[in-house]
Amino acid sequence: MNLRPEQLAAHLDKPLAPLYVLHGNEPLLVLEAGDAIRAAARKQGYAEREVLVAGQGFKWTELQSAAGNLSLFGASKLVDLRIPNGKPGRDGGEALQRYAKTLDDGIVTLITLPELDWATRKAAWFVALCEAGVAIETNAPDRDRLPDWIAQRLARQQQKTGPEALAFIADHVEGNLLAAHQEILKLGLLHPPGELSFDAVREAILNVARYNVDSLRQAMLEGDAARCARLLEGLKGEGEAPPLILWALANEIRTLANLRQGLDEGQQLQGLMKAERIFDDRRRLAIQRALPRLDGAPLRTAILHAARIDRMIKGLVGGDVWDEFLQLCLRLTRGATPARR
C-alpha cells in the first residue's frame, strides 16, 4: 500500500499497520514522517523500541531476533530499522523478504531508506515490503510548489503572507528544505500569528539557498532564464567547480540533441527516452516541453558552445567562463515561457 505524505496524519489516528517503509530525497520530511510514526506507536501502547542500523557488518538475523524478543513486561514493540545506503545486499534482501512474510502481532516495524533509484524500486525485497505494509515516499516539493509548501508550514503556526513574500522565501531557501523549516520557525518566533508583510519577511529571512548543479540543469530544461542566472550566481559564489557545471549542462544538451535527431527520423519519444535512460518524471516532463522549441540547429550550436567553454576552462582560449555559462543557458531558454511560480 502506498500512502502520500499528506495522508499520514489521518492514517496514524487509526490502529497502526504492522510495517512502514519510509523513503525519499528529503531528510527533513523523512525524519518528520518517522517521528510521527514513532509518536503514534507510543500513543497506541508500543512501549518498547529497538533501533537497528544496517551498516557494514550488520547481521540480518538481528532483525528477526528483534521482532521476537519482547521483554517480560512488554506486550508490544516498535522495531526501527534504518538502511542508510538503501542497499541491503543479497543477504539483506532475502532477509527482508522473509521478514515481510512473517510479521507478528504486537510488533510494528519502521524501515527508513534514502532516495531510491528506479532499479531498487523494482527489487524483490522492496516490492515485498510495500505489499506487506505501508510505503511512504517523502520527496522535497518541486521548485514551483515550494511557495505553497511554505504557505502550508506558515499556516501551522497561524501565520500567512502574500505571493511576493512566499516567492522571496522560496528564492532564498531553494534546495535547502531544512533551512526553509528553520526560517519558517524563526518567523513564528519573531512575529505574532496573523498576516506577515513582505518587509517583515525580507528582514527576517537569511540567504540560505543551497544551489546545486541539478537545479541549474532543470531550470535550463524548463526554460527559466531568470532562475538560471540566479543559480549560476549562487554556484559561483559557493565556489562550485566549472568542470562539474559544464559536464551537467553538456550531458543534458547531448541528450536533447539525440532525442531531437530521433524524433526527426520518425522514432517514438517514449522509446528514445528509454534508450537515454530518462526515468525521472519531472525531467521527462521538462524534456517533453523543451523539445518543441529546440530543433537540431540550436542544439548543435550549443554543443559547439560547450566545447568552447571546455577549452576556456583548460586555459586554451580566453574569456569569462561564468558569463559563457549564462550565455549557453540563455541560448537554450530563448523563446520559452517558464511555468508560473
* pLDDT in the model for residue 100: 93
Which of 14-18, 270-274, 337-341 shows the lowest per-residue confidence on average (mean pLDDT)? 337-341
Same domain, 240 and 287: yes
Q: Is residue 106 part of a domain?
A: yes
Is the predicted pLDDT of residue 130 greater than 90, yes or no? yes
Contact between 203 and 300 (Cβ < 8 Å)? no
Same domain, 244 and 124: no
Same domain, 113 and 166: no
Average pLDDT for residues 160-164, to the nearest whole number?
A: 94
Same domain, 179 and 161: yes
Number of structural domains in the chain: 3
Same domain, 183 and 281: no
Q: Helix (H) and strand (E) counts for the chain?
A: 17, 8
Which one of 137, 168, 188 terminates a domain? Answer: 137
Which one of 108, 137, 166 terminates a domain? Answer: 137
Same domain, 158 and 274: no
Percent of the chain with pLDDT over 70: 94
Is the predicted pLDDT of residue 38 greater than 90, yes or no? yes
Is the predicted pLDDT of residue 94 greater than 90, yes or no? yes
Q: Is residue 340 part of a domain?
A: no
Same domain, 264 and 315: yes
CA distance 198 to 265: 52
Confidence of residue 92 (pLDDT cuts 50, 70, 90): very high
Q: Is residue 107 part of a domain?
A: yes
Is the torsion defined by CA of 141, 144, 150, 152 positive or negative? negative
Q: Is residue 230 part of a domain?
A: yes
* pLDDT in the model for residue 103: 86
Same domain, 182 and 282: no
User: Which positions ≥6 away from 327 have C-beta within 8 Å?
Assistant: 305
Segment 319-329, tens digit of pLDDT: 899 999 999 99
Same domain, 13 and 130: yes
Segment 43-67, tens digit of pLDDT: 999 888 999 999 888 999 999 888 8
Q: Is residue 235 part of a domain?
A: yes
Q: What's the domain range around 174?
A: 143-204
Segment 204-247, tens digit of pLDDT: 887 666 778 888 988 899 888 988 998 999 889 888 889 989 99
Is the predicted pLDDT of residue 340 greater than 50, yes or no? no
Q: Is residue 263 part of a domain?
A: yes
Same domain, 133 and 37: yes
Confidence of residue 27 (pLDDT cuts 50, 70, 90): confident
The CATH number covering residue 26 comes to: 3.40.50.300
Q: Is residue 338 part of a domain?
A: no
The CATH number covering residue 280 comes to: 1.20.272.10
Confidence of residue 203 (pLDDT cuts 50, 70, 90): confident
Q: How many angstroms separate the Cα of 17 from the Cα of each of 14, 136, 231, 253, 266?
A: 9, 13, 43, 46, 50
The CATH number covering residue 154 comes to: 1.10.8.60
Contact between 103 and 132 (Cβ < 8 Å)? yes
Segment 289-338, tens digit of pLDDT: 888 888 878 898 999 999 999 999 988 988 899 999 999 999 888 765 54
Same domain, 169 and 83: no
Q: Is residue 275 part of a domain?
A: yes
Which one of 154, 180, 204 terminates a domain? Answer: 204
Is the predicted pLDDT of residue 41 greater than 90, yes or no? yes
| First-last CA distance in the chain | 32
**Residue 138 Cα to chain centre, angstroms:** 8
Give phi and psi for 56, each to the nearest 5.
Answer: -65, 130
Same domain, 179 and 91: no
Is the predicted pLDDT of residue 259 greater than 70, yes or no? yes
Confidence of residue 75 (pLDDT cuts 50, 70, 90): low
Which of 15-19, 22-26, 101-105 shows the lowest per-residue confidence on average (mean pLDDT)? 101-105
